[in-house]
């Protein structure tokens, strides 16, 4: 097994690192405080090819591999997880699904502008009562002949306010249960489609999260993805890939916190020496370093298996489960190492700690990941 990155992957990693420091760092605290969407930065990410990294260039993408995607997400998340999650959703939950399952006409109309970063997309599965349970969709799409009539509410939708195109899951035939679910491409501005107020969140405050409200929205038949009843399989396939994106975001948050804690420990003095020379601090940093490396390997493994066309339900869930826990543990320790300074915004680690928590929740909670993993190992 080759653990060495290719020259191209190293270049992508460096490009993402440079962008994060030159374009994201300066205003990240202010955007977090004011809950300002990083519109200008996201536009530049599109120009650099980060918004459709794995999409075929003929559809406006960069045509890169999944390892490159993990590398870029980690570097961006070290500095600004809010900007990184915009990229993650657009890549993993929107573009990946459209490229794999849409017909050519849909790809030309919707995938091209999404992959090029001309517009951004959103994935609408979660609901007030169902959460991320794709089998329990209360949102309905009634077949009216030449169109569907969409009614319902979606919750916790990342990019909800700023997206142009939305992939929406809805129940068409409840008697068929999960086989009666469909996935649709819905456009902003359609009559009957509104967005709710922006959520006031603990972390990733720069990204916009809101509810979507559908009241008799007419969705053309040609905007259904796949055959009738394909929606559940579509959602499961997309979520598997999405977990790699969230794992990579968690990895980046942890890495960013560790780097800040290490730098602080090397310069901050206590009892006559730099605090890194105190065993209590040195051991914390050692544990953080080992955990981050292990999380990184799980992310790489899941990404490599995705590129190989393997079933990534287990590896993706493992990466997300472990990396999100590492992000939470590492950021807490980073605040502790900083002491009182860690509790104020200027030193960044308190924001990273707040950002870390969401990685244990979205794309399925840690408990859901354990269900996925346990089901997988029970079949072996």
- For the stretch 110-166, pLDDT in tens is 999 999 999 999 999 999 887 667 777 899 999 999 999 999 999 999 999 999 999
Question: Are residues 145 and 92 part of one domain?
Answer: no
Q: 120, 154, 186: which is the final residue of a domain? A: 120
DSSP element (H, E) containing 253: helix 231-267
Structure tokens at 181: 């679910």
Question: Are residues 257 and 126 part of one domain?
Answer: no
Does the residue 290 lie in any domain? Answer: yes
Residue 16 predicted with pLDDT over 70: yes
Residues 6+ apart with CB under 8 A from 200: 35
Question: Are residues 368 and 263 part of one domain?
Answer: yes
User: By residue range, what is the domain housing residue 360?
Assistant: 236-378
C-beta separation of 121 from 94 below 8 A: yes
- Residue 123 CA to residue 167 CA, distance in Å, equals 5
Q: 231, 252, 286: which is the final residue of a domain? A: 231
C-beta separation of 168 from 150 below 8 A: yes
Longest dimension (CA), the chain: 79
Does the residue 2 lie in any domain? Answer: no
Quick one: pLDDT at residue 132? Answer: 63
Query: What is the C-alpha end-to-end distance of the chain, expressed in Å?
Result: 23
Does the residue 352 lie in any domain? Answer: yes
183: left (phi over 0), alpha (psi -120 to 50) or beta: beta
Structure tokens at 218: 């007419």
* CATH number for 331: 1.20.140.10
Quick one: pLDDT at residue 3? Answer: 81
C-beta separation of 301 from 323 below 8 A: no
Residues 84, 90, 93: CA angle, nearest 5 degrees: 110
Residue 233 predicted with pLDDT over 80: yes
Dihedral of CA atoms 331, 90, 236, 373 in degrees, nearest 10, equals -20
Q: Which of 276, 184, 268 is nearest to 230 (CA)?
A: 184
Q: What 3-state class would DSSP assign to 134?
A: coil
Question: Are residues 360 and 271 part of one domain?
Answer: yes
Question: Are residues 354 and 260 part of one domain?
Answer: yes
Quick one: pLDDT at residue 224? Answer: 98
Residue 171 predicted with pLDDT over 90: yes
Residue 355 predicted with pLDDT over 90: yes
Q: 197, 231, 265: which is the final residue of a domain? A: 231
Question: Are residues 241 and 214 part of one domain?
Answer: no
Does the residue 66 lie in any domain? Answer: yes
Q: What 3-state class would DSSP assign to 3?
A: coil
Q: Which residues are catalytic?
A: 363
Does the residue 263 lie in any domain? Answer: yes
C-beta separation of 121 from 159 below 8 A: yes
Q: What confidence tens digit (pLDDT) does each residue in 34-81 have?
A: 999 999 999 999 999 999 999 999 999 999 999 999 999 999 999 999
Does the residue 351 lie in any domain? Answer: yes
Q: What 3-state class would DSSP assign to 158?
A: strand
C-beta separation of 203 from 81 below 8 A: yes
Question: Are residues 47 and 58 part of one domain?
Answer: yes
Question: Are residues 309 and 201 part of one domain?
Answer: no
Question: Are residues 157 and 91 part of one domain?
Answer: no
C-beta separation of 272 from 360 below 8 A: no
* CATH number for 162: 2.40.110.10
Quick one: pLDDT at residue 341? Answer: 97
Q: What are the CA-CA distances from residue 130 to residues 45, 154, 206, 240, 353 (Å)? A: 33, 10, 26, 18, 27
pLDDT over 70 percentage in the chain: 99
Question: Are residues 126 and 114 part of one domain?
Answer: no
Q: Are strands 147-158 and 193-195 parallel, antiparallel or unpaired?
A: unpaired
Quick one: pLDDT at residue 130? Answer: 72
As a whole number, the mean pLDDT across the chain is 96
What mean pLDDT comes out for the span 313-320? 96
* CATH number for 36: 1.10.540.10
Does the residue 191 lie in any domain? Answer: yes
Structure tokens at 270: 């206590």
- Residue 172 CA to residue 149 CA, distance in Å, equals 10
CB count within 10 Å of CB 39 equals 12
Residue 87 predicted with pLDDT over 80: yes
Q: How many domains does the chain have?
A: 3
- Residue 287 CA to residue 257 CA, distance in Å, equals 13
Q: What 3-state class would DSSP assign to 272?
A: coil
pLDDT over 90 percentage in the chain: 94
Quick one: pLDDT at residue 71? Answer: 98
Q: What 3-state class would DSSP assign to 53?
A: coil
C-beta separation of 170 from 180 below 8 A: no
Question: Are residues 251 and 363 part of one domain?
Answer: yes
Q: What 3-state class would DSSP assign to 185?
A: strand
Question: Are residues 15 and 111 part of one domain?
Answer: yes
Does the residue 1 lie in any domain? Answer: no
C-beta separation of 160 from 209 below 8 A: yes
Quick one: pLDDT at residue 267? Answer: 97
Say how far residue 231 (Cα) sits from the centre of its chain. Answer: 20
Dihedral of CA atoms 256, 258, 260, 262 in degrees, nearest 10, equals -150
Q: Are strands 165-171 and 121-124 parallel, antiparallel or unpaired?
A: parallel
Residue 364 predicted with pLDDT over 90: no
């Amino acid at each position: 097994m080759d653990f060495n990155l290719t020259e191209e992957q190293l270049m992508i990693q460096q490009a993402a690192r440079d962008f994060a420091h030159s374009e994201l760092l300066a205003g990240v605290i202010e955007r977090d405080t004011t809950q300002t969407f990083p519109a200008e930065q996201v536009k530049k990410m599109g120009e650099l090819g980060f918004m459709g990294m794995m999409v075929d260039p003929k559809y406006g993408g960069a045509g890169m591999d999944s390892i490159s995607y993990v590398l870029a997400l980690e570097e961006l998340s070290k500095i600004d997880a809010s900007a990184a999650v915009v990229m993650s959703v657009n890549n993993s939950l929107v573009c990946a699904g459209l490229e794999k399952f849409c017909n050519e006409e849909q790809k030309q109309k919707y995938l091209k502008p999404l992959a090029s970063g001309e517009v951004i997309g959103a994935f609408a599965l979660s609901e007030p009562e169902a959460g991320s349970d794709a089998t329990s969709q209360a949102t309905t799409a009634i077949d009216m002949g030449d169109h569907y009539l969409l009614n319902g509410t979606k919750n916790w939708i990342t990019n909800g306010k700023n997206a142009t195109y939305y992939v929406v899951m809805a129940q068409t035939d409840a008697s068929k249960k999960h086989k009666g679910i469909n996935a649709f491409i819905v456009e902003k501005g359609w009559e009957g489609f509104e967005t709710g107020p922006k959520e006031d969140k603990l972390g990733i405050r720069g990204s916009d999260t809101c509810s979507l409200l559908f009241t008799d929205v007419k969705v053309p038949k040609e905007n259904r993805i796949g055959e009738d009843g394909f929606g559940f399989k579509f959602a499961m396939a997309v979520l598997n890939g999405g977990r790699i994106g969230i794992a990579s975001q968690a990895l980046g948050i942890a890495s960013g916190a560790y780097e800040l804690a290490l730098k602080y420990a090397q310069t901050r003095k206590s009892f006559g020496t730099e605090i890194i020379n105190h065993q209590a601090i040195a051991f914390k940093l050692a544990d953080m370093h080992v955990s981050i490396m292990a999380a990184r390997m799980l992310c790489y493994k899941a990404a490599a298996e995705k590129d190989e066309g393997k079933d990534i339900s287990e590896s993706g869930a493992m990466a997300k489960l472990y990396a999100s826990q590492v992000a939470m543990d590492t950021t807490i320790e980073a605040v502790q190492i900083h002491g009182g300074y860690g509790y104020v915004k200027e030193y960044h680690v308190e924001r990273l700690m707040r950002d870390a928590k969401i990685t244990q929740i979205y794309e399925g909670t840690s408990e859901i990941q354990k269900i996925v993993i346990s089901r997988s190992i029970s079949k072996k």
